Amino acid sequence: MTIVPPGSTIGIVGGGQLGRMLALAAAQLGYKCHIYAPEEAPPAAEVAAYFTRGDYDDEAALRRFGAEVDVATFEFENIAAGPLAALAGEAPLYPPCQALEIAQDRLNEKRFIQGHNGRPVAFAAVDGETALAAALKEIGTPAILKTRRFGYDGKGQVRIRSVKEAAKAWKEVKGAPCVVEAMVEFDAEFSILLCRSPEGEVAVWDSPRNVHRSGILDRSTVPADKALQPAIGKAEALARRVADSLDYVGVLTLEFFAVGEEALFNEMAPRVHNSGHWTIEGSLTSQFENHIRAICGLPLGAVGLAAPRVEMRNLIGDEVTGWREILADRTAHLHLYGKREARPGRKMGHVTRLLGLSGG
């Protein structure tokens, strides 16, 4: 890979908080960022050198965008891979489109993981009420019905507590192709965050233990409990196999349930991830900086912990109004995303605390 030197322009498809934090990390390394998003004033555009407003399915606009940048990446996976191929024809695009295509479809994603000796939660494909009834008979209840595409932060998901709720659940997903998953009694949730360079160098951060609330990540804590380490070890080995098989470049995130010493795969995100926000202050190199380093062909930075313990909490909806109280804690690192409206379930910012340091 040809190195993309500082002073070059990095294109970021997507204008949310992940794009914002990528642009901030890129600026620290001397790069300019160009944001492409459909919103009128996305949060990422506030901290970037350039902004182009365009739809994610506009191939001509993405092609023009690609011609104006030296390398490109994307901040979330709900972008059709087809139009992005037009961009990739003009500028190198990382992570690879194949990873995006896999992560966009829950059924393909689970089958892909199985093909790499990973173990997803028990699941079945569902394309109608008859198939749903058969799947529930096989998997049992309670279960979760999930649309195969365009689901995140609990969206596109319906819990089914008994077979009597199947018809109602199917109406809620409006006939979209789905998968149904068994509800798992797990010990904990955790994620594997790794970054892979074009040369195959891999850096893996400490795995955070994650706690969700209403389907949205509430907090991440590192290091995870010692009891989780056997499951984390198996999950990391799977993540490395996945990254190598895709010839992956950039940050890759895999989410898991720990059941005893086993790691049950939940989801894959081919991008920087909410459960890695703690790395900005809590790691020697953040996920955002290492993603920029990887896609530009630079050496990866060290990923050791900067404190004995680190906790990151999301600020959801009106929780962002507590910024004064957060800043009164001098050990708190507050990140606000610049979103204009605090809606229920909307990520408005996060706060990170480094714990166990002297002088805190």
Distances in Å between the Cα of 136 and the Cα atoms of 21, 99, 100, 109, 186 are 41, 30, 29, 21, 20
Q: Compute φ and ψ for 268, nearest 5 degrees.
A: -120, 135
Distance in angstroms (rounded) separating the CA atoms of residues 28 and 330 = 24
Do 276 and 260 touch, CB atoms closer than 8 A? no
Q: Compute φ and ψ for 220, nearest 5 degrees.
A: -130, 135
Kindly compute the dihedral angle of the four CA atoms of residues 38, 44, 48, 50, in this order, to the nearest 10 degrees.
0
- What amino acid is encoded at 180 in this protein? V
Distance in angstroms (rounded) separating the CA atoms of residues 89 and 286 = 29
| Element housing 169 (H / E) | helix 166-172
Distance in angstroms (rounded) separating the CA atoms of residues 306 and 309 = 8
Distances in Å between the Cα of 57 and the Cα atoms of 60, 79, 93, 97, 109 are 9, 8, 16, 15, 22
Q: Using DSSP bridges, classify how beta strands 347-355 and 309-316 pair: parallel, antiparallel or unpaired.
A: antiparallel
- What amino acid is encoded at 178 in this protein? C
By residue count, the chain amounts to 360
Distance in angstroms (rounded) separating the CA atoms of residues 24 and 297 = 18
Distance in angstroms (rounded) separating the CA atoms of residues 210 and 230 = 17
The residue assigned the tokens 């795969």 is 265
| Element housing 195 (H / E) | strand 188-196
* pTM across the whole model: 0.94
pLDDT of 222-273, one tens digit each?
A: 999 999 999 999 999 999 999 999 999 999 999 999 999 999 999 999 999 9
Is 179 strand, coil or helix?
Answer: strand
Q: Using DSSP bridges, classify how beta strands 250-259 and 188-196 pair: parallel, antiparallel or unpaired.
A: antiparallel
Q: Which residues contact 104 (CB under 8 A, 6 or more apart)?
A: 77, 78, 80, 81, 149
Task: Tell me the percentage of the chain whose pLDDT exceeds 70.
Answer: 98
Q: Does pLDDT of 332 surpass 70?
A: yes
Q: Tell me which of 80 and 53 has the higher pLDDT.
A: 53
Distance in angstroms (rounded) separating the CA atoms of residues 42 and 45 = 6
What pLDDT is attached to residue 360?
54
What pLDDT is attached to residue 19?
98
For the chain, domains (ranges, CATH) are 9-93 (3.40.50.20), 122-182 (3.30.1490.20), 188-355 (3.30.470.20)
pLDDT of 134-192, one tens digit each?
A: 899 889 999 999 999 876 555 678 999 988 888 888 988 888 899 999 998 999 999 99
pLDDT of 83-129, one tens digit each?
A: 999 999 999 999 999 999 999 999 999 999 999 999 999 999 999 88
